[in-house]
Structure 1
Amino acid sequence: MSDDIILATEGLTKDFKGFTAVDDVTLRVRRGSIHALIGPNGAGKTTCFNLLTKFLEPTRGTITYNGRNITATKPTDVARLGMVRSFQISAVFPHMSVMENVRIALQKKRGESFDFWRSERTLDTLDDEVRNLVGAVGLGDFVAAKAVELPYGRKRALEIATTLALDPEMLLLDEPMAGMGHEDVERIAALIRRIAANRTILMVEHNLSVVASLSDTITVLARGRVLAQGDYATVSKDPRVIEAYIGAGHG
């Protein structure tokens, strides 16, 4: 497999008692790209994501990350290899501040305990790194705010910051724009573009205008199978894709 490919699947399949949710999916994600997984409701996107991040075991097929077969690897070990799923494993503690949340994530990356009992001085050694991460996601003015008090879009930015603290080479974003207003969507899209400068991103996203503006490559799933793949201009003109979305009641 080419060094250019960071994540690949061959014949990835998941059956649930007579129902095939993911059907013979072969995927190639290019290193350094933003790759979107889209499709109408029930297309198998979430199941596919759960297979890639090892929250589900495939019925058949293989998953390779950085040239290594991770088909039977545990989710925590996959994260240690550098492939991290945001909004699922990122732990945001609601009654702790933005600063404290990111600091805990940094300690996790270093393999340390959460250090609740350590001296402030020991923890302060991380503060420059914490401030850099908080600033990178646009939360510089919110360092002392409790996570629970943040507006929805800012909370998602905090979740991304705690994920970035793990220093992933590849980031999987599960519907990063879900439930957001226009202003938050633009802010998070700009953040994704910024953090993609030195890592690979695979995202499941319903907002097609976001997909169009952010993605280098798009894989369209329908009924668990790959329907089309390419850039937005290519897949949006594909008659099968148009039919799949209109047939599923999407404009």
Structure 2
Amino acid sequence: MTVYALETSGLTKQFAGFTAVSDVGLRVRRHTIHGLIGPNGAGKSTCFNLLTKFLAPTRGTILYEGADISRAGPAEVARMGLARSFQISAVFPHLTALENVRAALQRRRGESFDFWRSDRILKRYDADARALMAEVGLTGWEETLAGEMPYGRKRALELATTLALAPKMLLLDEPLAGLGQEDVGRIAALIKRAAEGRTVLMVEHNLNVVASLCDVITVLTRGKILAEGDYAAVSANPAVQQAYLGEMAEPAHV
């Protein structure tokens, strides 16, 4: 079995003559946390959407656990164990936190979102839903409407719903975006815990978190890979420092 959970070769995406991602060869080792970073306009979001199948590549291949998923759709790769979160929290705001996690558990088990079914049928998911909520620090928030939860708690809820799908690999799109300082450390710790026994690929701008969480970092600029390695190696790379205009010139203090 390959040691890589996700591999790309020659991955390219063009939009009306503009090349957003060019010949990217990415290899994400199984059971690691891999960071994808880069300055604004580097192609991170496009690359992420290619990997999560929300965009089709112009050319190139994507392998997940050795299987070619280049032309697969999002639902197909989700069934294979590849789950993504979004930069903007994606929960059902008019459902309670518990109902959100319960809906994800229903989906994992191949059932439709039958919210009108009897309480007896739906409540069979409650124990597992409560356990997942406890795992992400949401005990006591079960009956709160998701739309009324503080932003940091919504991000934790989104992580719980993602974990409810029992993914083998998590793809996280700026999981710390918009969080206050008091929530950053807590959500970062949740990501580290969720990564146990899984593979994680995350796009993130918070360099302190990247430094503390990621085993390997890939730096994109102008749609191409500029550098790759651990944080110490990447942050000391003169080309990376120039791309960030000094943003990474000094090591992060974590």
Taking structure 2 as the reference length, the TM-score comes to 0.94
Q: Is the 2:89–2:155 contact (alpha carbons within 8 Å) kept by the matching residues of 1?
A: no
State the Cα distance separating 1:115 from its structure 2 match: 2.5
In 2, Cα distance between the equivalents of 1:248 and 1:18? Answer: 31
Q: Secondary structure at the match of 2:196?
A: helix
State the Cα distance separating 1:230 from its structure 2 match: 0.5
Residues 116-169 of structure 1: CA distance to partner in whole angstroms, max 9, x if unpaired? Answer: 222212222111100111111111121111001110010011111111111110
Q: Is the 1:90–1:162 contact (alpha carbons within 8 Å) kept by the matching residues of 2?
A: no
Q: Secondary structure at the match of 1:227?
A: strand
The equivalent of 1:197 in structure 2 is 196
Deviates most, 136-145 or 84-93: 84-93
The equivalent of 2:239 in structure 1 is 240
In 1, Cα distance between the equivalents of 2:191 and 2:13? Answer: 29
Q: Secondary structure at the match of 1:113?
A: coil
Q: Is the 2:107–2:165 contact (alpha carbons within 8 Å) kept by the matching residues of 1?
A: yes
Q: Is the 1:90–1:163 contact (alpha carbons within 8 Å) kept by the matching residues of 2?
A: no
Q: 1:125 is matched by which residue type in structure 2?
A: R
State the Cα distance separating 1:45 from its structure 2 match: 0.2
In 2, Cα distance between the equivalents of 1:74 and 1:105? Answer: 19
- The change in CA–CA distance for 1:88 and 1:77 in structure 2 (over 3 A counts) is farther
- Please list, as runs of the form range in 1=range in 2, the aligned pairs for 1:1-251 lying within 5 A after superposition: 3-87=2-86, 91-246=90-245
Q: Is the 2:136–2:159 contact (alpha carbons within 8 Å) kept by the matching residues of 1?
A: yes
In 2, Cα distance between the equivalents of 1:20 and 1:116? Answer: 44
Residues 187-213 of structure 1: CA distance to partner in whole angstroms, max 9, x if unpaired? Answer: 110000000011110000000000000
Q: Is the 2:216–2:231 contact (alpha carbons within 8 Å) kept by the matching residues of 1?
A: yes
State the Cα distance separating 1:87 from its structure 2 match: 2.1
Deviates most, 78-87 or 115-124: 115-124
Q: 2:232 is matched by which residue type in structure 1?
A: A
Greater share of residues in helix: 1
- The change in CA–CA distance for 1:76 and 1:89 in structure 2 (over 3 A counts) is farther
Q: Is the 2:7–2:28 contact (alpha carbons within 8 Å) kept by the matching residues of 1?
A: yes
Please provide the CA RMSD for this pair: 1.8
Q: 2:60 is matched by which residue type in structure 1?
A: G
In 1, Cα distance between the equivalents of 2:121 and 2:248? Answer: 56
Q: Is the 2:235–2:249 contact (alpha carbons within 8 Å) kept by the matching residues of 1?
A: no
Q: Is the 1:40–1:250 contact (alpha carbons within 8 Å) kept by the matching residues of 2?
A: no
Q: Secondary structure at the match of 1:198?
A: coil
Q: Which runs of 5+ in 1 are unaligned?
A: none
In 2, Cα distance between the equivalents of 1:89 and 1:77? Answer: 23
Residues 34-81 of structure 1: CA distance to partner in whole angstroms, max 9, x if unpaired? Answer: 000000000000000011011111111100001000000011101111
Residues 89-117 of structure 1: CA distance to partner in whole angstroms, max 9, x if unpaired? Answer: 98511011101110011001111122222
- The change in CA–CA distance for 1:86 and 1:3 in structure 2 (over 3 A counts) is same
Q: Secondary structure at the match of 1:197?
A: coil
Identity across matched positions, percent: 65
Q: Is the 2:235–2:248 contact (alpha carbons within 8 Å) kept by the matching residues of 1?
A: no
Q: Is the 1:11–1:23 contact (alpha carbons within 8 Å) kept by the matching residues of 2?
A: yes
Taking structure 1 as the reference length, the TM-score comes to 0.96
